């Protein structure tokens, strides 16, 4: 009996540690301009568990919480999973952000190349989860790729502070944070409300300006409703049409890799005191040592995913 308890405890610690590491990957991805933590969640195999955990914040969860059934509440919302992943995200955003800032400033092409290799090889491993490829799944894969490429090429819209549009902005931005291939901040830029929400309203709130609530409350309501509703939709989609869902999301990840293409010139726009990337001008590299090193980093990124998949496969057999 003691050995059984010890083994179970060891497995729980391992699971928490690996979920923490996956959270670190998600947090690191959110630091990269135009990249979504949902992509890493999908690649590392926790995407479905994540959307199911988000979906579990419902009336049943509230009843368990307010009746004092804390253990049942924790099990219902998969609390240990959410805390371990959330801690990883927080640690990455705090620590990795500074490292990435330095690397983007001094070695942007090599860093973009590494992530491009990582994402491209991930498409292969994610697509392997489709149990049967046919005309429908291939068409959905192409559709997902096309949509992601189109989003990358979109130009920012005009600012709109109407309540209904702010609700939509909150819902779509929140959904994009868990959808592979999309960045929440990039979506707000495309919708024209990044400055209004993330700069003006947040600064007004910090300055105790009550007018900020007129902007932020609709965005937050839209985000909560959108995230919960979208998690239900994705959960249903994976249960009913798993192959189709994975194929379209695989295409989405492939199309979003366009944002990671190393040889590009960022198109920026001033938002208050900060400057944000609103698009890119792509170009072909010159054949030189820098291009050769970039190709090496693409291979290294792919090799990292291959190594991770190999280790994960061995652990499943243990």
Task: Write out pLDDT tens, residues 213-224.
Answer: 888 888 889 988
User: How far is 37 from 43, CA to CA, in rounded Å?
Assistant: 10
Give CA–CA dist 310/304, Å, rounded. Answer: 10
Least confident of 103-107, 164-168, 287-291: 103-107
Find the mean pLDDT for residues 310-317.
Answer: 58
- What is the share, in percent, of the chain residues with pLDDT greater than 70? 80
What pLDDT, on a 0 to 100 scale, did the predictor assign at position 35?
A: 62
Model confidence at 292: pLDDT above 80: yes
- Token readout for 285 is 């590299």
Asked if 166 and 223 touch (Cβ cutoff 8 Å), the reply is no
Q: pLDDT class for 296, splitting at 50, 70, 90?
A: very high
- Rounded Cα–Cα distance for residues 90 and 27 (Å): 7
Sketch the domain layout of the chain as residue ranges.
2-317
Model confidence band, residue 201 (pLDDT cutoffs 50, 70, 90) = confident
Phi-psi domain of 284 (left: phi exceeds 0; alpha: psi -120 through 50; beta: other): beta
Q: How far apart are CA 85 and CA 212, in angstroms?
A: 30
Looking at per-residue pLDDT, the higher value among 23 and 100 belongs to 23
Contact by Cβ (8 Å): 73, 64 = yes
The pLDDT assigned to 5 comes to: 46
**Contact in structure between 301 and 117 (CB atoms under 8 Å):** yes
User: Looking at 109-123, 206-220, 285-299, which range is the least confident one?
Assistant: 206-220
Closest-CA residue to 153 (of 275, 284, 283, 280): 280
Residue 301 scores a pLDDT above 90 = no
pLDDT at 225: 87
Q: What is the pLDDT of residue 4?
A: 43
Please, are residues 27 and 37 in contact by the beta-carbon 8 Å criterion? Answer: yes
End-to-end, the C-alpha distance of the chain in Å comes to 20
In which band, very low, low, confident or very high, does the pLDDT at 185 lie, cut at 50, 70 and 90? low
What gap in Å lies between CA 212 and CA 201, rounded to an integer?
Answer: 5
pLDDT tens column, 38-91: 777 877 778 888 888 888 888 888 899 888 888 899 899 898 899 999 898 888
Question: Which stretch of 20-29, 155-164, 217-226 has the lowest confidence by average pLDDT?
Answer: 155-164
* Average pLDDT for 285-307: 87
pTM of this structure: 0.69
3-state helix, strand, coil split of the chain in percent (to 5) is 75, 5, 20
Compute the distance between CA of residue 243 and CA of residue 228 in angstroms, rounded to an integer.
23
Q: How many residues can be counted in the chain?
A: 318
Q: Give the pLDDT of residue 6.
A: 47
Residue 137 has pLDDT above 90, yes or no: yes
């Amino acid at each position: 009996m003691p050995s059984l308890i010890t083994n179970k405890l060891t497995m729980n610690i391992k699971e928490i540690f690996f979920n923490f590491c996956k959270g670190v990957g998600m947090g690191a991805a959110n630091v990269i301009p135009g990249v979504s933590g949902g992509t890493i969640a999908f690649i590392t195999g926790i995407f479905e568990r994540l959307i199911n955990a988000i979906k579990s914040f419902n009336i049943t969860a509230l009843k368990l919480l307010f009746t004092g059934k804390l253990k049942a509440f924790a099990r219902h919302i998969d609390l240990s999973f959410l805390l371990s992943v959330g801690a990883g995200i927080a640690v990455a955003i705090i620590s990795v952000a500074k490292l990435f800032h330095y690397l983007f400033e001094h070695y942007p092409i090599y860093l973009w190349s590494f992530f491009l290799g990582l994402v491209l090889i991930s498409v292969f491993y994610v697509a392997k989860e489709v149990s049967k490829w046919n005309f429908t799944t291939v068409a959905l894969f192409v559709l997902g790729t096309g949509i992601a490429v189109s989003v990358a090429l979109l130009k920012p819209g005009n600012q709109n502070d109407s309540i209904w549009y702010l609700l939509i902005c909150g819902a779509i931005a929140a959904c994009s944070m868990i959808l592979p291939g999309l960045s929440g901040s990039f979506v707000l830029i495309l919708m024209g409300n990044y400055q209004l929400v993330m700069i003006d309203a947040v600064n007004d709130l910090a300055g105790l300006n009550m007018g900020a609530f007129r902007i932020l409350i609709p965005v937050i309501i839209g985000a909560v409703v959108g995230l919960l509703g979208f998690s239900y939709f994705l959960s249903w989609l994976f249960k009913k049409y798993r192959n189709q869902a994975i194929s379209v999301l695989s295409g989405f990840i492939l199309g979003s890799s366009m944002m990671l293409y190393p040889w590009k010139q960022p198109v920026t726009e001033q938002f208050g005191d900060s400057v944000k990337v609103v698009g890119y001008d792509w170009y072909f590299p010159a054949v030189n040592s820098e291009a050769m090193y970039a190709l090496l980093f693409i291979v290294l990124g792919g090799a990292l995913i291959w190594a991770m998949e190999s280790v994960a496969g061995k652990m499943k057999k243990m």
